[in-house]
Structure 1
């Protein structure tokens, strides 16, 4: 005769739980011990089971069936256990509402010209440097020495905005002091 107990704890993701065997004893249950049932066990199920000892000498449930459910005949129906889907109608509704809200914001609050301009894809620091170029009419073109500059204004622009400069020989922050910025 099989034992009868209640499944008190169940971790469906990992496929194991514990059966309340008696007032003081809990018995381990692994999903592999459940015998051809039409669904996975859940907390609160009344279970019928045998007790065996594993290789370490601990007791565990074996040949487990769920009260009120008939075993599935393995020859007529092939059952494979699948984890229940975590998506439900509330999740799908949330995704749809979120997508519609995003589309509304995109079409009503953003100007296509600004959003699709090449400058919109540049990091803010590069955008700032690009704006400075337009203000000063100078562009970093690889000039690194005072002999390549045409004015003090250009030398200051290069020192402030362009990499690898050799225009401030004494390091005082004033470029090309002998040539352009006396």
Structure 2
């Protein structure tokens, strides 16, 4: 019987210490301003400069952007058969 009383007393003291510790533990404080994540860097796109060098046909172009540049800026190109402003439609799937 004496052992049970000691056990109950130990449990009560432990419970009291536990609840006091919970009451004094600071709770997480909500930030006053929302956290905003911004990208560190924008996506890098290398600057490619084209120049008119006499190429006229789609087979001479390496990219759609290059063909578009040639169509808009260079004379005598043969890349827009239907004159809709879209060069090399079959080659670049546009």
TM-score by length of 2: 0.48
Structure with greater strand share of residues: 1
TM-score by length of 1: 0.25
Higher relative contact order (CA closer than 8 Å, sequence separation 6+): 2
Structure with greater helix share of residues: 2
